Copies of this chain bind each other. A is one copy, B any other.
Amino acid sequence: MAGTPTYATPPGFLGVTRQDASGGTGIAGIPMDIGTTNRAGTRDGPRAIRAASRMLVDGAHPGSWVDPAELPLADLGDFELALGDIQGSLARIEQQAAAIDHLVALGGEHGVTLPLLRALRKKLGAPLGLLVFDAHVDTWTDNFGQAYAHGSVFYHAIKEGLVDPARMIQLGIRSPVQREVWDWTLGQGVTVVTAQQFHEAGPQAVAAQVREVLGTAPAYLSFDIDALDPAFAPGTGTPEIGGLASWQAQAVLRRLGGLDFRGMDVVEVAPAYDHAEITALAAAGMVWEYLCRG
């Protein structure tokens, strides 16, 4: 082990000090959290995920053997938002995301994924494939009266044509849900793998299903940390029991080599409910899997 001891790692994600993302991957925090419906506080997610990532600085991924220290990573800091204003914040997020070639976003609530998909959709000129880890389908038409909160992100993404529902798959779904929301989601062509289905099929089979649904066209990865069980990710606002273990998520991600991901986010980390950084570690670990993918 060389360099700075783990506990004194500089504050950027993976200790990165480079702040210019051109030609590489830009990591940015998006501390928006005013559209959440249960426990609050994902605004503190970016700081916590960056801090927890210090555990992953020193060495290569023991599978792909990619060493993130050799990747062209930059930590861009946090996006500017409109305090207390959802629509204003979504607009600013889209604008800032548009300026980055390859963005990895640290939420913040799941609502931030919508403007990220809008920006990517414009760049690509075509709908994206979408892999979602989540406990919730997030295709509600509204959230107790609010159209643009965290439970509606994929309703809008589908309605706006940002993603191709036939190339969209959700893993870990298990919350209570209205039958009409469920039927609408499947009716659009989305593939839903419930947590119970995941547990029974095992990650190998699930990874194969993901590969089949996504194909090789451009895709996006959105990882809502509540896909993991509250035992593995207590630090989140809308926890649901019966979820995934972190090794299961890793086992899927490690089998997605060759897919054409154009960006990712990890969202819904609420550090005030975390313990011993385990949720932030899981979030940082999923980004690390993405960055070090084969």
Closest to A177 in B: B59
B83 in contact with A230 (CB, 8 Å) = no
Kindly supply a per-residue 1/0 record for chain A positions 1-28, scoring 1 wherever the CB is within 8 Å of any chain B CB and 0 otherwise: 1111111101100000000000000000
B5 in contact with A83 (CB, 8 Å) = yes
Kindly supply a per-residue 1/0 record for chain A positions 137-172, scoring 1 wherever the CB is within 8 Å of any chain B CB and 0 otherwise: 000101111101101000000000000000000000
Nearest CB in chain B: distance from A226 CB, A: 10
Q: Does A95 sit within 8 A of B, measured CB to CB?
A: no
Nearest CB in chain B: distance from A128 CB, A: 26
Q: Does A206 sit within 8 A of B, measured CB to CB?
A: no
A83 in contact with B278 (CB, 8 Å) = no
Of A61-69, A210-218, A259-267, the stretch lying at the interface with chain B is A61-69
B3 in contact with A278 (CB, 8 Å) = no
Of A96-104, A118-126, A245-253, the stretch lying at the interface with chain B is A245-253
A8 to B5, CA, bound (A): 26
B231 in contact with A58 (CB, 8 Å) = no
Known: A35-B83, A229-B232, A234-B275. A56 touches B145 (CB 8 A): no
A247 in contact with B278 (CB, 8 Å) = no
Q: Does A239 sit within 8 A of B, measured CB to CB?
A: yes
A149 in contact with B84 (CB, 8 Å) = yes
Q: What count of chain A residues pass the 8 Å CB interface test?
A: 100
Within A8-59, the residues touching B (CB, 8 Å) are 8, 10-11, 29, 31, 33-35, 37-41, 43-44, 46-47, 50-51, 54-59
Chain B residues lying within 8 Å of A44, measured Cβ to Cβ, are 7, 39-40
B176 in contact with A61 (CB, 8 Å) = yes
Closest to A275 in B: B275
A235 to B274, CA, bound (A): 13
A276 in contact with B273 (CB, 8 Å) = yes
Q: Does A294 sit within 8 A of B, measured CB to CB?
A: no
Instruction: Choose among B46, B241, B275 the residue that contacts A246 (Cβ–Cβ < 8 A).
Output: B241
Closest to A2 in B: B144
Chain B residues lying within 8 Å of A34, measured Cβ to Cβ, are 34, 84
In order of increasing CB-CB distance, the 9 nearest A-B pairs are: A59-B176, A11-B11, A234-B276, A272-B272, A40-B40, A6-B38, A34-B34, A83-B146, A273-B276
Chain A residues engaging chain B, CB cutoff 8 angstroms:
1-8, 10-11, 29, 31, 33-35, 37-41, 43-44, 46-47, 50-51, 54-63, 65, 67, 77-78, 80-86, 140, 142-146, 148-149, 151, 173-179, 181-182, 194-196, 199-200, 204, 229-232, 234-235, 238-243, 245-247, 250-251, 254, 272-278, 281-282, 285, 288
